[in-house]
Amino acid sequence: MKAVIIGAGMGGTSAAIALRQLGHDVEVYEQVTENKPVGAAISVWSNGVRCLDHLGLGNETAALGGIIDSMSYIDAFTGETMCRFSMAPLIDEVGRRPYPIARAELQLMLMNAFGHDDIHFGKRMVALHDGPENATVEFADGTTASGDIVIAADGARSLARDHVLGRDVERRYAGYVNFNGLVPIDERIGPATEWTTYVGDSRRVSVMPVADDRFYFFFDVTVPEGLPFERGAARDVLAEEFAGWAPGVQTLIETLDPDTTNRVEIFDVDPFHTWIKGRIALLGDAAHNTTPDIGQGGCSAMEDAIALQFAFRDHPDDPLAALSAYESSRTERAADLVLRARKRSDVTHGKDPEATAAWYEELRHEDGTNIIRGIVGNIVGGPLT
Ligand SMILES: Cc1cc2nc3c(=O)[nH]c(=O)nc-3n(C[C@H](O)[C@H](O)[C@H](O)COP(=O)(O)OP(=O)(O)OC[C@H]3O[C@@H](n4cnc5c(N)ncnc54)[C@H](O)[C@@H]3O)c2cc1C
């Protein structure tokens, strides 16, 4: 069987490796001309790590990952610790440590595992056609690629999604922007092996370690959609938005490099349950675009890839049956994660201020049990957990 994969993000490259593991002929096409992922880092939760293990990348993942031994929440204004607890119960329960990883490094690992030179860069899909014997992709440069199947892993603004659903899909603004980047670890901001989160005023600021003694940081700022922003202005904007926050937050603002700090408006898409049309299937953000509030978008893209492999393992001679099995195995799980993330986002970002105030109060009495239960609930339910 020949698979044409569109998009060399986490989803597309994972699917490419997974299908090649079964011995299939796989071609990957990507619109950009080089590996330049948006966003500084990503938390790969234990379900995502298991997917990477399955793809043969367990050791590389551990080498790139930061070690989180504990989690804490800090009052934004007083700097007082609201709660701090060990991650050991979570790791014991799900059997695998999570790893925050710099995004470019994760992406490069996946691309190299498939074969960087086997990815066709600079190929922008502009149309899709489904036929009885194969499916074909048209590119902006006038060339085409055909396969027994096309896997569209073309991300949150997916063109293929509109093709599969037969309608334009609206993305929903979640009400906040996320500034993110990498800084050297600095214990004035948070302990080196802790995921530290400052909360207050319906905003949050977080740091967590990645390899090579760096913190991945992010700031969530609740603002209307579409405000102008000039790259390079992050320090000034954040100094104003977070004036009066605890000293650790001020140190982070002083330390970050404004030129490499990203600013992303956060959206999601209402879950939908049609992921295939004939020989064309959606995968990753194209199929389930979520807010990052539970850190599961990329993990579920990798779960899709493993589920796709299992579907082709179970239906080796019938691509249509395999795609159908893939769709059945994934839509409910992915929808659940999108809605869990939306709920979490609403509480974190003050959609109902009373609920947010109640959450802050809960944090002051938290011993880790409830938070870990919630995270475990996100992790279990995929093809490998
Ligand atoms: C701020 C933020 C923080 C996040 N944090 C986490 C986290 O901690 N943990 C987690 O699991 N997830 C996280 N996510 C989500 C995660 O980034 C995505 O779910 C993941 O990148 C999806 O992978 P993908 O391959 O489906 O899409 P993408 O990574 O977007 O890749 C899609 C690829 O398709 C290419 N493409 C698009 N259109 C075309 C076309 N027409 N022709 C050819 N190529 C095309 C793009 O160039 C791109 O390379 C976060 C997201 C954001 C915004």
Backbone φ, ψ for residue 163 (5° rounding): -65, -45
Span 152-162, average pLDDT: 98
pLDDT score of 184 = 98
CA of 261 to the centre of ligand 1 (A): 18
Span 233-245, average pLDDT: 97
Tell me what percent of the chain is helix, strand and coil, each rounded to the nearest 5: 40, 25, 35
User: What does the alpha-carbon distance between residue 196 and residue 71 come to, in Å, rounded to a whole number?
Assistant: 6
pLDDT at residue 88 above 90? yes
For the chain, give every domain's residue range: 2-171+268-379
pLDDT at residue 196 above 80? yes
pLDDT at residue 385 above 90? no
Report the nearest-CA residue for atom 16 of ligand 1. Answer: 298
User: What does the alpha-carbon distance between residue 111 and residue 333 come to, in Å, rounded to a whole number?
Assistant: 26
CB atoms within 10 A of CB 57: 21
Name the DSSP letter for residue 143: -
User: What does the alpha-carbon distance between residue 303 and residue 313 come to, in Å, rounded to a whole number?
Assistant: 15
Do strands 149-152 and 2-6 pair parallel, antiparallel, or not at all (unpaired)?
parallel
pLDDT band at 228, cuts 50/70/90?
Answer: very high
Q: Could you tell me how many residues make up the chain?
A: 385
pLDDT at residue 38 above 90? no
Provide the whole-model pTM.
Answer: 0.98
Architecture of domain 2-171+268-379: 3-Layer(bba) Sandwich (3.50)
Q: Does the beta carbon of 159 lie inside 6 Å of ligand 1?
A: yes
Are 22 and 309 contacting, i.e. CB atoms less than 8 angstroms apart? Answer: yes
Q: Does the beta carbon of 11 lie inside 6 Å of ligand 1?
A: yes
CA-based radius of gyration for the chain: 21
| Atom of ligand 1 minimally distant from the CA of 156 | 30
265-310 confidence digits (pLDDT tens)? 999 999 999 999 999 999 999 999 999 999 999 999 999 999 999 9
pLDDT band at 28, cuts 50/70/90?
Answer: very high
pLDDT at residue 117 above 90? no
CA of 80 to the centre of ligand 1 (A): 35
Report the nearest-CA residue for atom 21 of ligand 1. Answer: 298
CB-based contacts of 333, cutoff 8 Å, min separation 6: 300, 303, 381, 382
Span 235-256, average pLDDT: 98
Q: What is the mean pLDDT of the chain?
A: 97
Amino acid at the residue 336: D
